[in-house]
Every structure is written in C-alpha cells, then in structure tokens.
Amino acid sequence: TTPSVANGMVFKTANLVPTVITNFDGGIQGQRITIIATDALTTIQDGASIRLTADVNFTSSVDSTIELILVDSVWYELGRSLN
C-alpha cells in the first residue's frame, strides 16, 4: 500500500489486518515524516522507494516509531524506536 503523506508530518497506523507499505504518496522534497504505530500489523518495506537502515524492514509494535526524509523521490530512514 502507498498511503498519502501530503500536508502532514506525523501519522499514526491503525491497521486491522497485516499491511505492507511500499511507498508514501504526496511527499515533497525534504519532507520529514514520523510514523507512530498503534498496531503490530504494519510493515514498512525496504526497497527502491524506501531505503531503511541496514536494509531491514520496519515491523511495527504498539508505540514504535520511525522517521523518514524524502530526497530525490526516495524516502530515507533517519531513525526508529521499537518500544
């Protein structure tokens, strides 16, 4: 799935079924986003559009977070917290 991050900086997950995010739509150059997980069903997948640290997917747990920045149409991980 590719959720929209247009006009925002902080987003919360609330998935009821396993969900894999492969990109974020509507981002602008230099945009930073923070994703706060409220479920344990969301995976942000490392790939061509999302470059995660050490090529490791982000698998959510409740209250975990990840921060990304958009540079030249690619989201780069800035950090994560697995609470």
- Give start and end residues of each alpha helix (H) in the chain: none
Q: What local confidence, expressed as pLDDT, does residue 83 receive?
A: 83
Query: What is the DSSP code (8-state) at residue 10?
Result: E
CB atoms within 10 A of CB 49: 15
Report pLDDT digits (tens) over 37-74.
999 999 999 999 999 999 999 999 999 999 999 999 99
Amino acid at 12: K
**% of the chain surpassing 70 pLDDT:** 100
Report pLDDT digits (tens) over 1-30.
999 999 999 999 999 999 999 999 999 999
